[in-house]
Structures are given as C-alpha cells and as structure tokens.
C-alpha cells in the first residue's frame, strides 16, 4: 500500500505517517507546503525509513499535484493539508479559503484524472480528513452524528464544511471512492504551541499567565492524536466509499477543567514556589466561540471496530510528560515561529 499523505508535516499528519510507516508498514509519500505549521522534526522518527518520501508542494498547484500522482501512483490519499487554527482564520481568512477549499478541489481533480489511467488492482481510496466544527455548536445535551446538519461558525469551519461538500460531491457525481471523516479536538505530542493544550503547558513551564477564553465553560471532546491516526488507518482499510465517519474519544471536558488538569500535572512534575493554578487568567472570549462539541463515534466503533485506546486522563499525562522531555522540538518554534501572543481578536 502506497499512501499519499497531504499535510504530513503537520500535527495529525505526522502522527498518521509515523503510524502508517512504523506500525502498518505502508509506503508513505508526504505532500506538504511547509507553512508555519509544517515541521520536519515531527517526521524525524521515520525520516530515514525506506518507506518514506517527502515532496514540498502546495496542494493548490495543480501541475505539481498532477505530477506527484503520476510519479508515485498512490493506492490511497489521506488528505490532511489545511490551515487549521480557528483564531488565525478570524484574523485572516484568505489563506483558509485558498488551501482548504481550492486546495481540496485541486487535489480531488488531480485524483480524478489520475484514476482514469490507474492500472493497479488495489482498490483506491481518498480519505478527506475533516472536523466536527462543521456541525456548529451544541447546547448542554446531544451529540454530533454523521447526519447532523452542517452549521459552521468560524471562517475555518466554514472552509472545512465547503471542502467536505466538494469531497462528497466528487463521490456522488464522479463515483470517486471518497470517504469523509469528522474528528473532534486532537491533542498529544508534536502539537504546534498555538493550540490550547501545548500553549498552556509551555506557558506554565515559563511561569507565564495561562489564558482561558471567556469563563472557560466551553466544552470540547478530546481525542489523543495517535487514536485519530489509528482510526484513519481503520477507515482506509474498512471504510465504505461515500460514507462519513465521526471520530471522537468520548472525552468531553470544559476548557477550564483541561487547564486545571495540566496545572495539577505541572505541580506534580515541575513544582514551583506557588501552584501553577494561580497562573490561570480569564481573557476576552473568541468571537463566535462555539459552546460545546461532542461526538457520537458509534458508527466507527460498531461498523469498523475502532476504539479509542486513551482516556483524557492517560493522554494528558503522556502529553505533559512529552513536552517536558522534548524541549528540542518546541523551543525553536516558541522562539522563532510563535511566541504565545493572542491571535484572533476582531479589531473595531
Ligand atoms: P496542522 O496545522 O498542524 O498541519 C497542517 C499541515 O498542512 C502543515 O504541515 C502545513 O504545512 C500543511 N499545509 C498547509 N497548507 C498547505 C498547502 N496549501 N499545501 C500543502 N500543505 C499545506 O493541522 P492539524 O491539526 O494536523 O490538522 C490536520 C487536518 O485535520 C486538517 O485538515 C484539520 O482541519 C483536520 N482536523 C484537525 C483537528 C485538530 O484538533 N487539530 C481536529 C479535526 C480535524
């Protein structure tokens, strides 16, 4: 199996590459533009593998994408390349429309034209990796299922919703073997430090304030990134073309509880003069901040047999320990790429 992984130098993409190469023995071709979020250090564990190839290109560049399909003749595409940070989409949505919508369109068209001449007997699959944020916000009750209507709130989720519709249309109209997955919030090793969990760990380490948006009551359904990578492996092998699968870990937590749990681990692992809990600071809320996300993953669990292996408690301990042990990975990012400043406030 040779898999083209777009966005393979990103947080989830690199976990997918490590899982596919190390655990499943697949050949992986990474196609990545290397934006601020792309990091070859996240692929270091597989960089010397004969099963790994890296290609630096923009998924919006159709000539390059067509050439990659012709050169490597992949058996599957796992499409993760995207602009992924909601706060950045509020400050500047242009690149989100370009990469998430036009880039996905370009990739779908390249795959469609490649399939016209493809000779391999292996069934081709195109996995379009998306988010639960396309469903909008839940109230206190209920879960997102695969039939929940789309109702995106942010420029990020609106562009992901658009790309999901394109992917599904390419299945219905052209018969392309496309599968869409919608996953809840991921966390774990190699997470770019603009996102809540790594930001809080690194700020706590520096004894800086720990920003909590609004009153911290927003709920997210956390999934350990390696569980997501395993889910995509299962969907690739057993998923049915044209279907959508929700991926989630049944780990709903309020943002404030997540930050408190990290503080408790930091108090244990890096005790300081005062508790890390004292660094928590409530800051202006995100515009259009969705209140609650929660995934019903029973279709993926019952039909394809996937189960999350980590609880939030086991996953967050591993994650805090990983950041404490891997300063060589995050220090260059913290100093040169993103220093922890607030993003995504709408200026009057
Ligand atoms: P990320 O920002 O860490 O990585 C994105 C990768 O895509 C980077 O390596 C970047 O260089 C690359 N990229 C960006 N624009 C590109 C372009 N035009 N051409 C080629 N490569 C480009 O993102 P992530 O958190 O790993 O998310 C991966 C995918 O999973 C995204 O599609 C995202 O919408 C989806 N997703 C993320 C989460 C989450 O919690 N992080 C949850 C559900 C779904």
Q: Given this model, what pLDDT does residue 348 score?
A: 61
Q: Given this model, what pLDDT does residue 238 score?
A: 98
Domain ranges of the chain: 2-192+222-252+289-312
List all residues 6 or more positions away from 10 whose beta carbon is below 8 Å from its beta carbon: 32, 37, 38, 39, 42, 80, 81, 84, 192
Distance between Cα 84 and ligand 1 center (Å): 5
Q: Given this model, what pLDDT does residue 344 score?
A: 87
Give which of 122, 126, 20, 24 is closest to 65, Cα–Cα.
126
pLDDT in tens, 204-241: 999 999 999 999 999 999 999 999 999 999 999 999 99
Domain 2-192+222-252+289-312 has CATH 3.40.50.720: yes
Instruction: Evaluate: CB of 291 within 6 angstroms of ligand 1.
Output: no
Instruction: Evaluate: CB of 12 within 6 angstroms of ligand 1.
Output: yes
Report the atom number in ligand 1 closest to the C-alpha of 15: 26
Could you tell me the two tokens for 27?
């050949």
Instruction: Evaluate: CB of 134 within 6 angstroms of ligand 1.
Output: no
Q: Is 132 a catalytic residue?
A: yes
Segments in the chain below pLDDT 50: none
């Amino acid at each position: 199996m040779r898999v083209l992984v777009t966005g393979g130098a990103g947080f989830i993409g690199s976990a997918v590459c490590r899982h596919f190469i190390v655990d499943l023995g697949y050949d992986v071709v990474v196609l990545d533009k290397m934006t601020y979020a792309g990091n070859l250090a996240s692929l270091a564990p597989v960089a010397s593998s004969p099963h790994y190839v890296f290609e630096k290109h923009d998924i919006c560049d159709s000539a390059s994408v067509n050439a990659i399909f012709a050169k490597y003749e992949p058996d599957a595409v796992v499409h993760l390349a995207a602009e992924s940070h909601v706060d950045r989409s509020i400050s500047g949505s242009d690149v989100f429309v370009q990469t998430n919508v036009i880039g996905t369109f370009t990739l779908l068209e390249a795959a469609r034209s490649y399939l016209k001449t493809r000779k391999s007997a292996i069934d081709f699959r195109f996995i379009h990796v998306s988010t639960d944020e396309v469903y909008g916000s839940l109230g206190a009750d209920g879960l997102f299922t695969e039939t929940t209507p789309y109702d995106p709130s942010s420029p990020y989720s609106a562009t992901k919703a658009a790309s999901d519709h394109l992917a599904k249309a390419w299945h219905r109209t052209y018969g392309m073997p496309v599968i869409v997955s919608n996953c809840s919030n991921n966390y774990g090793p190699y997470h770019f430090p603009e996102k809540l969990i790594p930001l809080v760990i690194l700020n706590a380490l520096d004894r800086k304030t720990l920003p909590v948006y609004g009153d911290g009551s927003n709920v997210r359904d956390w999934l350990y990134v390696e569980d997501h990578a395993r889910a995509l492996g299962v969907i690739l092998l057993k998923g049915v073309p044209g279907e959508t699968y929700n991926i989630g870990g049944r780990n709903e937590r309020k943002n404030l509880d997540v930050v408190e749990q990290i503080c408790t681990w930091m108090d244990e692992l890096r005790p300081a003069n005062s508790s890390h809990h004292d660094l928590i600071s409530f800051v202006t809320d995100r515009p259009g901040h969705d209140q609650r996300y929660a995934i019903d993953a029973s279709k993926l669990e019952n039909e394809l047999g996937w189960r999350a292996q980590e609880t939030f408690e086991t996953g967050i301990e591993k994650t805090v320990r990983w950041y404490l042990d891997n300063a060589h990975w995050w220090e260059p990012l913290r100093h040169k790429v993103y220093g922890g400043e607030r993003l995504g406030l709408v200026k009057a």
